[in-house]
Each structure stands twice: as structure tokens, then as C-alpha cells.
Amino acid sequence: MTQPVLEVRDLKKHFDVGGGWLGKSGQSVKAVDGISLTLGARETLGLVGESGCGKSTAGRLILRLIDPTEGEIHLDGKRIDGLSRRQMRAQRRGLQVVFQDPYSSLNPRLRAVDIVAEPLRNFEPLSREEIQARVAALFEKVGLRKDQLSRYAHEFSGGQRQRLVIARALALNPKVIVCDEPVSALDVSVQAQVINLLIDLQAEFGVSYLFIAHDLAVVQHISHRVAVMYLGRIVELAEKKALFAQPQHPYTEALLSAVPVPDPSFQSKRIILNGDVPSPINPPSGCHFHTRCPIAVARCKSEAPALREVSDQHFAACHLR
């Protein structure tokens, strides 16, 4: 088996919560509570779950925008979780990001050409003419016109802004791009265009994506494998076809039952979960999902299930599967 371009081992992020006497409560939000995953070359791993499950925090940890509480992050075989800001700078060109809101991730004072050129000026010893040529080529790759190079961010539509962000992310030929809800702020028709663009660019540039989303239809279209998160933990991880055809975790089954099917004659059996998602400050003992699980037994309340292989390359964290 070839070495993964990204490997995460038992990654945790606990945020201290203030309050109480002198602002110290002794509690913490367990936003990410021990996740492990790998990402291969030219692969897209979808990371899905309800809002607040910790998937965006996991993406920021991998990007080293925030520091982990525990765990390891390996990029192309090199451990990066303990690097200083100065040491991490050399690794930045291999890790890029596409955020959810393209407008807030763009500098409104810069022209489009300078937005895309900025990483090249920071990392590549190129002349002004070479940078201009590289930026113009990137514009063409993402479906923007050369006459738009001198425009500002507010002069682009939402879909065009996200294309601009993608061009900036590709400028340094990264190994991994973390896509954090990259199409959720766009119209449905534009979503399809951007998703297909990402697929085409992956084939051309050989980049790998960690694709964070809550829209399962989008994840099904773009991903090779899918990881499902619940309350800071990965509860299921499998190839896309296997996960959508035969989910092994009760939470995944409930998520998939809520996906609308564009067929009026299709009668789906919706699984309604009882109660709300527990607080990550005080998560349930044992399996975090047992308070809402329709098939939970006594063991689920006291013993946390390990993520184990239940069939070929299909992993689930459930005592009953």
C-alpha cells in the first residue's frame, strides 16, 4: 500500500470553558475527541455529520490553524502537529483551504490577480511576468476570463468568487486541499458547476481533497470514501458505494434516511431520532450516540465502541454490528 499524503492519528481538540469562580469552570468542550483517518493521493474523503459535530474543527486542526490538544498529523510522511509557526511555513504550500464563504475569505482591497498571485510571491522566486502568466493560466483552468484579472472581489458573483478561491488554493500545486463546506453558500445550479470543476482539477493536478460537508448528495457525487462524525468522533468510515448502499452504524442510517429522493413514487422510511444532540461539554458515557440510538443496549451506556472493520474496508463504531 502506498503511503497516504495525509494521516491523522487519535486527534483531539478540547476547548476550555470559562465561568464560575475567577472565570475557571474546569470544563472543556470536546470538539474533536480522538479521530483517525488517512487520505490517499488523488483521493477525496468526505467528512459528514450534523452541525456542531466537530468536522470543521477537524479541518482547522489539519491545516494547523489551531493547535491540537492531543494526537498526530502527518503530511506526506512528515509529522506537522508539533511544528512552530516558522517551521510550519515551509509546509503551507502543501496544505491549502477552500472556505465556506468565498467573499469573507477574499481581501476586498486586492484585485483578483493579486489575490491569486499572493501565494506565488510568498513562495516562488518568479518574475512579475511569470507570475502574471501563471495567474492567467489558473484563471483559465477554473473558468474565469483574463479580462476579470483586474476586478475586485465584490465585482464577482458567488460562484465566480469560489472559483477565484480555488485558483488561489491551486497556485502552489498543493498535495491536500481542505474544502470546508465549499458549495453550501452557493445556488444549487452553481453548486454542481463548482463540484464538477473540483473533480476535473483533481484529475489534472493530482490533488487530494478532505471534503467537509453536511449535504450527503454532494458528498456522494464527489467523494471516494466517506467518514461520518458524531459528537467529535468518527462512527463510520467506508467506500462511498458501500456506505450509501449498506450503512452499518445507526446514526448513518438515520442520516441517509433524511436524504430526499427525486422520485415521487419512491417511499422512503424516515428514521426519526429522539432528543437533541448532547452537549460536547458533558457528552454521554460509553457510546456518545446511545441516548438517541433506537437499538442501544446496556453495554452501549458504559463502554465506548472502537472503530473496527465490520466488512472489507468498512469500519463502524458499534457494539451491535
The pLDDT value recorded for residue 189 is: 86
The secondary element (H helix, E strand) that includes residue 236 is strand 233-239
DSSP state of 279: P
Residue 258 lies in a domain: yes
Residue 294 lies in a domain: yes
| Residue numbers of the chain with a pLDDT score lower than 70 | 1, 19-25, 263-268
Distance CA 2, CA 4 (A): 6
Asked if residues 319 and 289 have their Cβ atoms less than 8 Å apart, the reply is no
Number of domains in the chain: 1
Residue 116 lies in a domain: no
The pLDDT value recorded for residue 153 is: 94
- Domain range enclosing 298: 224-321
pTM of the model: 0.93
Residue 310 lies in a domain: yes
Residue 245 lies in a domain: yes
Residue 259 lies in a domain: yes
Going across the sheet that includes 27-39, the strands are: 27-39, 6-17, 70-75, 78-79
**Residue 60: helix, strand or coil by DSSP?**
helix
Sequence-distant (≥ 6) Cβ neighbours of residue 66 within 8 angstroms: 13, 57, 60
The pLDDT value recorded for residue 269 is: 78
The pLDDT value recorded for residue 226 is: 97
| pLDDT tens digits, 216-275 | 989 999 999 999 999 999 999 999 999 999 999 999 999 998 877 776 666 667 888 888
The pLDDT value recorded for residue 301 is: 94
**Residue 261: helix, strand or coil by DSSP?**
coil
Residue 176's beta-bridge partner residues? 95, 208
Residue 253 lies in a domain: yes
Residue 236: all three cell numbers together: 463510520
Residue 249 lies in a domain: yes
Residue 103: all three cell numbers together: 467573499
